[in-house]
Chain A
Amino acid sequence: MKDPRVRLRNPLIAAVLAFAIPGAGHWYQGRRFKATIYSVCILTIFVWGMILGGGQPVYSQLIYRTEGQAPTAQLQASLPRMKFSFGYAAQVLVGAPAWPAIIQEMRIRNSDADIKWIDGPIKSDFQGLLSRGFGNPMSEMITGTIELNPANPQGSDVVTGTLHGVFADGSTRDYVLAGDINLGRKVFGSPRREVRCDVLTMDDDGREVWLKLEGSISRSAVDWFQAPRDTLELDRLNGELSQNFDIGSVFTWIAGLLNLLAIWDAAEGPAYGYGDEEEIPDDDEPAPEKKTG
């Protein structure tokens, strides 16, 4: 409802600003009280949802592994098969805070995923399993520090590396990584980047033994924040955060949908009017009896 007392200035600009940052459109119109309500309430609900969801409830696409390509979607070199996340249709309405998801989706679509390529030396914490074969039940948990170095300082798919491993019993051992060192995609919606490679070591009798190393290293926040992820990562988040991940996701949806009301208000004004109109009685209510005499 348009009320002449409500100054909308240019409604289109106001609506675009309201979409970009909750409350910005109303601030532009000089409606500072409502701008404060919208920005504080909507951004608080959104940030709260992000915190509950471990910083990961917002993503635009879900990645599916192509059959026979790789053991996981992260290690898949071909362009990933992606499906739109419907929750993002609500989240994107919150504006700029949800836009990184679009940038991350473009980065994945427009980048090669050479799973053996690294841009430069990497030194990171490592956690994973050491076994005589991938998926072998007789595997040992191992943590520690991994160092990966490209053959060329500017980046290469010929990678060498070492692992300073710490076993569950506290014992330590250094390993030289060998064979093809496969790394998960650079951009992916998980703070952990998968690593798979062979390890050459000596057994107690002094014979060479090849072992399989599978685990993960840290991924830069710039490369995982709001990036598309796979169902494995969603399973991990649900396992780690339990109901909080779902609650956090719902909060971010609510924040986006609330901003839709704010965008509408910036463009069209308040829905019911200024607020000082006399209430019109319902037709069903009996009219008051007139006093006679």
Chain B
Amino acid sequence: MQLAALYAIPLTVGISLVYSASRFELPEKILRSAVLMFAKTIAALVALYLILLYLSR
């Protein structure tokens, strides 16, 4: 895996926080929503990576 692929982790943290902050007002709800969104996004990226890795063999 290229180092640049790891940029996705902090980038996803930032996007999740900003997106969740624009949806809710309560800090606890924002953080909970951001954690959930981060987990779902990273899981989707990992799944996509594994599919592409398999197809490129």
Residues of A with Cβ closer than 8 Å to B? 3, 5-6, 31, 33-34, 37-38, 41-42, 44-45, 243-244, 247, 251, 254, 258, 261-262, 264-265, 269-276
Contact = CB atoms under 8 A, between A and B. Distances in A.
B24 A254 contact: no
A249 to B, nearest CB: 13
From B11, B21, B23, B30, residue with most partner A Cβ within 10 Å: B21
B26 A37 contact: no
Given A247-B4, A275-B29, A276-B29, A265 B22 contact: yes
Interface stretch (B12-20, B38-46, B48-56): B12-20
A45 B22 contact: no
A206 B41 CA distance: 73
29 contacts: A3-B25, A5-B25, A31-B25, A34-B25, A37-B17, A41-B17, A41-B18, A42-B14, A44-B14, A254-B15, A258-B14, A258-B18, A262-B18, A262-B22, A264-B22, A269-B25, A270-B23, A270-B24, A270-B25, A271-B22, A271-B23, A272-B24, A273-B24, A273-B25, A274-B24, A274-B26, A275-B24, A275-B25, A276-B29
Interface of B: 4, 7, 11, 13-15, 17-19, 21-30
B26 A265 contact: no
B21 A38 contact: yes
Given A33-B30, A44-B14, A275-B30, 11 more contacts: A3-B25, A5-B25, A37-B18, A41-B14, A41-B17, A247-B4, A261-B22, A273-B25, A274-B24, A274-B26, A276-B26
B33 to A, nearest CB: 8
Contact of A38 (B11, B18, B29): B18
B27 A270 contact: no
From B7, B18, B24, residue with most partner A Cβ within 10 Å: B18
Contacts of B26: 274-276
A42 B25 CA distance: 18
A261 B13 CA distance: 16
Nearest to B20: A37
Contacts of A3: 25
A31 B24 CA distance: 12
A255 to B, nearest CB: 8
A261 B25 contact: no
A271 B20 CA distance: 10
Nearest to A268: B22
B37 to A, nearest CB: 13
A261 B4 contact: no
Contacts of A273: 24-25
A76 B15 CA distance: 42
Contacts of A258: 14-15, 18-19
From A38, A41, A247, A272, residue with most partner B Cβ within 10 Å: A41
A207 to B, nearest CB: 56
A276 B26 CA distance: 7
A38 B30 CA distance: 12
